[in-house]
Amino acid sequence: MFASLRRPDVLITTLAAAGIFMVTMGPRQALGLFIAPIDADTGVGIATLSLALAIGQFAWGAVQPLVGAVADRFGPRAVLIGGLFVLAAGCALTPLMTSGLGLIVCFGLLTAIGSGAGSFSVLIGAAAQRLPLEARGPASGVINAGGSFGQFVFAPILQKLIQTVGWMGSLWALAVMTLAALPLVGKLTQGQQAPVRHAGEEQGLMQAVRSAMRDRSYLLLHAGFFTCGFHVAFLVTHLPGEVNLCGLPASVASWSLAIIGLANIFGSLYAGSCVARYRSKYVLAAMYASRALLIGAYLLAPRTDLTFYLFAAGLGFTWLATVPPTAAIVGKLFGVRYLATLFGLTLLSHQIGAFFGAWLGGLAISRFGDYGWMWYADMVLAALAALVNLPIREAPVVRQAAVA
């Protein structure tokens, strides 16, 4: 199913994009590991740190359509380079902040904006413009798996660094590792042909956006992706706190996050292959429904190391594997000319959900002392997300391929 990626130019483009996503997305999924040590040193409070990460979740989404539009108009090279520098700056400046506002600006905004500029919307937009049609589905799975592999790699590394050199030294090390990804931008963008133009795609950017926002299927896709963001942000922000409430060591949280990333590598690759075989809306509905079942099983299970690892593996399979089929639907509905912008708007919906997932989790633990109501909200939203994807208008895969 990945035979279309064997051409050297296609493989280099795909792996370079996956490598950038590994650095911009992987550490971001492990920022929850810093909450307890930062709170212990600064005393700003878990609620304030949760708000900082929640604002970061929203900022990461809000920047998506903006950087997507810039990349669509001027190319992705400057966007990606600028994003890596901003992300590195956010990591390097956070240890110098001692107030809640300073942490919100650096730990929340700068890291989120930098990461967002090097996110899937820009990367898949850059790759899709330069890949043959048959390679786009598998390539989207590989690129998305890069972010999951980054989570698998960075979660245990950052936990070990926090234990050995402290949270400040860990963030400074992360800033250096971020800049090490700069050569991959050249591999992704150098010597590439001009973006491919397709019939019916020469409308202006604003006209394309207006047309999309009037499309019922596009709005339903946004509603489902909102729930995905709620799940992901709640867990990456508060899973360490849930582990601590259960009286388990911090290593269980870091390894659970790593397992989520590892499982999502396979989930993303599988999702990329499913895009070429099934209607993407059915793939999304199955993923969201499985999350409701997994959360229910977790709530009934004893709180042990093994429970967290199994829960992480099951949930991780669909973690960010929703991205390839979601991007595929956007591409089928509107083409790839403005894919970075239109998928960026979809990611904004994802991150609005992420804001509420991270923020409400902090409020729940502060007020009730546990995350019980958040788990129930997760289950209900997952079930609703599965349902809203079913009415999406999507041509059968075989007919779509024939028309293309």
Q: Which domains does the chain have, with CATH numbers?
A: 3-190+203-403 (1.20.1250.20)
Compute CA distances 151 → 26, 143, 228, 259, whole Å.
4, 13, 17, 9
Compute CA distances 200 → 334, 335, 337, whole Å.
9, 8, 10
Two structure tokens written together for 53: 């990460």
Q: What is the pLDDT of residue 264?
A: 83
Q: 32 near 243, Cβ under 8 Å?
A: no
**Which H helix or E strand runs over 317?**
none
CA dist., res. 278 & res. 275, Å (int): 6
Q: Which residues contact 264 (CB under 8 A, 6 or more apart)?
A: 144, 145, 148, 151, 316, 317, 318, 319, 320, 321
Two structure tokens written together for 334: 């509107």
**Which H helix or E strand runs over 356?**
helix 339-368
Q: What is the pLDDT of residue 202?
A: 45
Q: 229 near 57, Cβ under 8 Å?
A: yes
CA dist., res. 159 & res. 253, Å (int): 9
The residue to which tokens 């599988």 are assigned = 270
Which pTM does this prediction carry? 0.72
Count Cβ atoms within 10 A of the Cβ of residue 384 and give its class: 0-12 exposed, 13-18 middle, 19 or more buried: middle
Q: Label each residue of 238-291 as H, E or C.
A: HHHHHHHHCCCCHHHHHHHHHHHHHHHHHHHHHHHHHHCCCCHHHHHHHHHHHH
CA dist., res. 112 & res. 236, Å (int): 14
The residue to which tokens 């870091």 are assigned = 254
> Can you count the helices (H) and strands (E) in the chain?
18, 0
Count Cβ atoms within 10 A of the Cβ of residue 399 and give its class: 0-12 exposed, 13-18 middle, 19 or more buried: exposed
CA dist., res. 382 & res. 228, Å (int): 8
CA dist., res. 149 & res. 69, Å (int): 27
Count of Cβ atoms closer than 10 Å to residue 192 Cβ: 16
Mean pLDDT, consecutive 10-residue stretches, the chain (404 aa), reads 63 86 86 86 84 85 82 84 94 89 89 89 77 72 81 85 92 92 84 47 69 88 91 85 88 87 83 80 92 93 92 88 85 76 84 87 85 91 93 62 38
CA dist., res. 355 & res. 378, Å (int): 14
Q: How far is CA 175 from the centre of its chain?
A: 19
CA dist., res. 32 & res. 357, Å (int): 13
